[in-house]
Amino acid sequence: MSVGDNSLIGAAKNLDGPENKLFWILWLIAVVVTMIIFLNFIVAEASGSYAKVTETLEQVIWQEKCALILECECMADKKKKTSI
């Protein structure tokens, strides 16, 4: 019910006044608790991904710098060969 299956809500029409109020209070509590759990899961996954990225960030930066230097040297060599 907390993840979108609202077929049980139709049964609330058959309940008496106090039972109906109790139903809606429990429904609201269930929705809020599951929302908190799902949001906590999303935050945990995002921080896990961020931790993975920050672990390898410096290595990736150095690798990209080396690739750019290599590309620059290759272009410089080609220019020297064509000018001779």
Domain locations in the chain?
Answer: 6-83
2, 30 contact by CB (below 8 A): yes
Instruction: Give the integer Cα–Cα distance in Å for 21 and 16.
Output: 9
- Please enumerate in sequence order all residues whose Cβ is within 8 A of that of 8, keeping only pairs 6 or more positions apart, or say none: 1
Mean pLDDT of 3-20: 74
Would you say the pTM of this structure is higher than 0.75? no
Where does the pLDDT of residue 1 fall: very low under 50, low under 70, confident under 90, or very high at 90 and above?
A: low
pLDDT tens digit string along 28-76?
Answer: 898 889 889 999 999 999 999 999 888 999 999 999 999 999 998 888 8
